């Protein structure tokens, strides 16, 4: 079997066999397939797509290119379940959802990612906590999941290594925007954690990877079909990203919001709706709850009893953070030297948000990265972001900027105001949750 023959078959619109896909993925992993051949294969898929059996085969072969976690010897007392988001601005859902589901009896081995461009990264948020280790060895990772119920870490070199090389080549050859390849990339990493169930959050809107509802639905449908085809019970919920999801954007700022959420100080309605919807799906898919009402009751009890917050604190400490982080988080999280309000030039209702541009304000402040090698400032970001429908004037700012100095704060304030449109009348609001697709819909 030759790589060029496989590329030719896909170039000509043929359906590849599992054997052909397995051969090619092995070549990606061991270097027998060149960068040029990987690029040619990706472009062939970009233009000709993949049938569902091909997508399942590509996902499984990339998943099996490295370690696939096995939990049989751990005798866990509940199901192994996770959640994944396609990314957006102010999306801190994972920070609360993992401990909430663990408090309900699930085991959540969450492999998270860093932020890039306008989207924030779960790992960057956790690295705002002193000592938090995002890359423990896999034995420690599994032990923490067993003992506490949840661990949120980064991808190691052992998990889906073929995807790492494949994605880096796609990134520089304009072939990222392929639903079959996106599907395989996401799922090969997530399913390598040995999951029994997965709840996907597919964002839609001007701050999302997929900006149109039609494209978001196509990706959601593909993910649901492939993951279920690979034997993992999966649903995909399409949620809004036409504005920031929560009150904050940044790293330490979003960590503060997550702690206040878990401890009941403040729960942004949009953020709460998405968190509860996805956590409910996790409980239903994993069999922890039989109905939505039962799932919501369990999740509310996990929050109100303090169990979810307690589990969050234990996870932080188990991964190297302070033992008293939950109680004394204000003393541990970095604070920006300059915190200033940004007011609109004239009063009105927030009517629209260029969400991608809003996310780039955080990058301008130093809290995000334009390429993976960039270092970031965990203290900077935004808080008190005015959601669409808010009346802003000289008393209610558009947001609070957290900056390293007054010069960067002033520059960011110009970008912030440019990203927000006002109107004299109250605007119509987009749905927060559009729909959930299950195996029956894919």
What residues are annotated to the active site? 82-85, 122, 170, 185, 189-190
Nearest alpha-carbon partner for 283 in 111, 46, 67, 101: 101
- List, in sequence order, every residue forming a beta bridge with 198; answer none if it has no partner: 82, 234
Going by the DSSP 8-state scheme, the letter that residue 107 receives in this structure is: B
Structure tokens at 296: 């919501």
Structure tokens at 85: 């988001």
Cα angle at 72 between 67 and 74, to 5 degrees? 100
Cβ(242)–Cβ(211) under 8 Å? no
**Gap between the Cα atoms of 261 and 293, Å rounded:** 21
**Gap between the Cα atoms of 136 and 152, Å rounded:** 10
Starting at the earlier edge strand, list the strands of the sheet with 197-204: 81-85, 197-204, 233-240, 433-437
**Gap between the Cα atoms of 421 and 436, Å rounded:** 30
Nearest alpha-carbon partner for 189 in 165, 229, 168, 160: 160
Helix, strand, coil abundance in the chain, percent, nearest 5? 45, 15, 40
* Consecutive H or E run containing 84: strand 81-85
**Gap between the Cα atoms of 153 and 11, Å rounded:** 38
- The torsion of the CA quartet 133, 192, 88, 374, rounded to 10 degrees, works out to 50
DSSP notation for 143-180:
HHHHHHSEEEEEPPTTS-HHHHHHHHHHHTTT----HH
**Gap between the Cα atoms of 135 and 426, Å rounded:** 46
CA-based end-to-end distance of the chain? 33
- The torsion of the CA quartet 134, 137, 138, 141, rounded to 10 degrees, works out to -50
Cα angle at 136 between 223 and 327, to 5 degrees? 95
């Amino acid at each position: 079997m030759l790589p060029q023959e496989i590329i030719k078959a896909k170039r000509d619109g043929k359906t590849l066999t599992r054997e052909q896909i397995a051969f090619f993925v092995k070549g990606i992993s061991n270097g027998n397939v060149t960068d040029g051949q990987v690029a040619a294969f990706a472009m062939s898929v970009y233009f000709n797509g993949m049938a569902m059996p091909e997508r399942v085969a590509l996902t499984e072969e990339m998943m099996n290119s490295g370690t696939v976690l096995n939990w049989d010897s751990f005798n866990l007392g509940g199901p192994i379940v996770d959640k994944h988001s396609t990314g957006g601005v102010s999306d801190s859902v994972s920070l609360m959802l993992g401990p909430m589901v663990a408090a309900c009896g699930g085991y959540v081995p969450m492999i998270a990612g860093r932020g890039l461009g306008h989207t924030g990264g779960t790992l960057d948020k956790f690295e705002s906590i002193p000592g938090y280790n995002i890359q423990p060895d896999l034995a420690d990772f599994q032990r923490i999941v067993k003992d506490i119920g949840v661990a949120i870490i980064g991808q190691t070199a052992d998990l889906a290594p073929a995807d790492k090389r494949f994605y880096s080549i796609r990134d520089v050859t304009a072939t990222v925007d392929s639903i079959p390849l996106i599907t395989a990339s996401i799922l090969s990493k997530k399913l390598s954690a040995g999951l029994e169930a997965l709840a996907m959050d597919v964002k839609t809107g001007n701050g999302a990877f997929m900006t149109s509802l039609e494209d978001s639905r196509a990706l959601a449908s593909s993910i649901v079909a492939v993951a279920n085809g690979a034997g993992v019970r999966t649903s995909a919920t399409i949620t809004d990203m036409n504005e920031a999801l929560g009150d904050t954007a940044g790293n330490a700022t979003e960590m503060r919001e997550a702690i206040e959420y878990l401890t009941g100080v403040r729960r942004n309605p949009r953020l709460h709706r998405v968190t509860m919807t996805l956590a409910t799906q996790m409980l239903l898919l994993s069999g922890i709850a039989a109905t939505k009402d039962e799932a919501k009751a369990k999740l509310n009890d996990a929050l109100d009893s303090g169990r979810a917050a307690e589990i969050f604190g234990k996870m932080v400490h188990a991964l190297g953070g302070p033992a008293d982080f939950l109680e004394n988080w204000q003393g541990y999280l970095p604070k920006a030297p300059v915190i200033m309000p940004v007011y609109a030039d004239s009063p009105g209702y927030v009517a629209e948000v260029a969400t991608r541009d809003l996310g780039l304000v955080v990058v301008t402040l130093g809290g995000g990265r334009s390429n993976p090698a960039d270092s970031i400032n965990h203290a900077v970001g935004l808080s008190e972001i005015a959601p669409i429908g808010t009346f802003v004037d000289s008393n209610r700012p558009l947001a609070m900027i957290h900056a390293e100095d007054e010069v960067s704060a002033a520059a960011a304030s110009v970008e912030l105001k440019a990203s927000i449109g006002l109107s004299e009348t109250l605007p119509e609001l987009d749905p927060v949750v559009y729909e959930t697709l299950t195996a029956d819909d894919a």
